Amino acid sequence: MSFKNIQLEPREAGIFCLTINRPKVLNALNNEVLEEIGLALDLLGASNDARVLLITGAGDKAFVAGADIEHMSRLSPLEGKAFAEYGMTIFRRLENLNIPAIALVNGFALGGGCELAMSCDFILAADKAKFGQPEVNLGITPGFGGSQRLARLIGRPMALELLFSGRMMAAEEALQRGLVNHVYSQQELMEQGFKLAAKIATKSGTAQQLSKQLVQRGQDLDLDNACIMESDLFGLSFSTDDRREGMSAFLEKRTPSFA
Which C-beta is closer to ligand CO8: that of 166 or that of 256?
A: 166
How far, in Å, CA of 184 to CA of 201, rounded? 21
Pairing of strands 6-10, 15-20: antiparallel
Q: Which stretch binds ligand CO8 (CB under 6 A): 37-45, 135-143, 192-200, 249-257?
A: 135-143
Element (H or E) spanning 105, and its range? strand 101-105
Interacting positions 71-90 with ligand CO8 (CB under 6 A): 72, 80, 83-84, 87
The reply on whether position 144 binds ligand CO8 by CB under 6 A is yes
CB of 32 to ligand CO8, least distance (A): 13
57, 112, 205, 246: residue in contact with ligand CO8 (rule CB under 6 A): 112
Find out whether 84 and 143 touch, Cβ atoms under 8 Å. yes
The reply on whether position 163 binds ligand CO8 by CB under 6 A is no
- Measured in degrees and rounded to the nearest 5, phi and psi for residue 106 equal -100, 10
Element (H or E) spanning 184, and its range? strand 182-184
Q: Which of 70, 115, 173, 188 is catalytic?
A: 115
The reply on whether position 145 binds ligand CO8 by CB under 6 A is no
67, 116, 117, 183: residue in contact with ligand CO8 (rule CB under 6 A): 67
Residues 6+ apart with CB under 8 A from 197: 15, 52, 54, 100, 102
Window 210-229: contact mask with ligand CO8 (x via CB under 6 A): --------------------
Outline where DSSP puts E strands in 11-87.
15-20, 52-57, 62-64
CB of 155 to ligand CO8, least distance (A): 21
63, 108, 184, 258: residue in contact with ligand CO8 (rule CB under 6 A): 108
Q: Which of 135, 172, 188, 230 is catalytic?
A: 135
5, 37, 50, 66: residue in contact with ligand CO8 (rule CB under 6 A): 66
- Measured in degrees and rounded to the nearest 5, phi and psi for residue 248 equal -60, -45
The reply on whether position 138 binds ligand CO8 by CB under 6 A is yes
Q: Is 128 exposed, middle or buried (CB count within 10 Å of its CB: 0-12, 13-18, 19+)?
A: middle
Find out whether 124 and 196 touch, Cβ atoms under 8 Å. yes
Catalytic residue positions, numbered = 115, 135
Q: Which residues bind ligand CO8 (CB under 6 A)?
A: 25-26, 28, 65-70, 72, 80, 83-84, 87, 108, 110-112, 134-135, 137-138, 142-144
